[in-house]
Amino acid sequence: MYRMTAVFPAILFIGFFASSAHAFSRCCGPKQWTSAVAQVVGEYNIDADFYGLSEVDNRVYYDFPNKKIASVQTVTNETGDQPVITHIKQIMDYNLKKTWTIEGKNCTTTDLTEDIPSPCVPDSASHLSSQMLINEPVDVWFMKIGNTSIHRVTLTQKDCIPVSASALVDKPTYDFVMTVNLYQNVSAGPIDPKIFQIPAFCKKNSIHIQKKPLRVPTVPWLY
């Protein structure tokens, strides 16, 4: 079992490091892992001069062999005068090509068109730098996915464990959405299949809302 606690949040979005001229091997992380993820999501629409800000206490479960991802979230929306707290569970089953989003007794489903993201750093990623966090050597990677998605991720050199990740993407109703993740207590190994079980009320009363979910992880560290 691997365990890694994220430290030094200041490494996120303080500017890109200079790329090294040396070649770096693209590591592959564990094929099954779970992690507590401290997440901040900021959204802004320039024309409407409207912003949204949420803090998310997230527990992520990644199971590549069984092609499933789950996320249990407590979302605190800080946009209004008073914080609004929402509890959400999301289950992605890439075998069935479907996502279930559960809020209380409300359940919606959406279609998945992508394959489950690989645990490996993609070939298109660029190595930005190597750093030391306390006594832990890490690599910082940059990648652009599609035309409107920019990502930076920090991984341990040993075992390719995620430490932090950040993403800047466009959405139809916002000019940009920035997400920052800090990973804590990453544990590799088999995951209890019960976490991926669909509640009975979802099977009976779920509402299909769209062909594609609004949030699809492109790499497992950027849920």
Interval 23-47: pLDDT, tens: 577 899 999 999 999 999 888 887 7
* β-bridge mates for residue 8, sequence order: none
- What was the pLDDT predicted at 209? 64
Q: Is residue 6 one of the residues assigned to a domain?
A: no
In-domain check, residue 174: yes
Give the tens place of pLDDT for each residue, 125-158. 999 999 998 889 999 999 887 666 788 999 999 9
Q: How many domains does the chain have?
A: 1
pLDDT band at 102 (very low <50, low <70, confident <90, very high): very high
221 domain residue, yes or no? no
Question: For residue 132, what is the domain's CATH number?
Answer: 2.50.20.30
Rg (CA), the chain: 18
Q: Give the β-pairing of 32-45 and 174-188.
A: antiparallel
72 located within any domain: yes
> Does residue 85 fall inside a structural domain?
yes
Residue at 135 is within a domain: yes
Domain of 50 in residue numbering reads as 27-212
Nearest-CA neighbor of 183 among 168, 196, 166?
166
Lowest pLDDT segment from 13-22, 55-64, 89-98:
13-22
C-alpha neighbours within 13 Å on the C-beta side of residue 164: 20
pTM of the model: 0.81
Q: What are the tens digits of pLDDT across the range 69-92? A: 999 999 998 888 888 999 999 999
Residue 16 within any structural domain of the chain = no
Q: Would residue 194 count as lying in a domain?
A: yes
What is the arithmetic mean of pLDDT over 99-123? 90
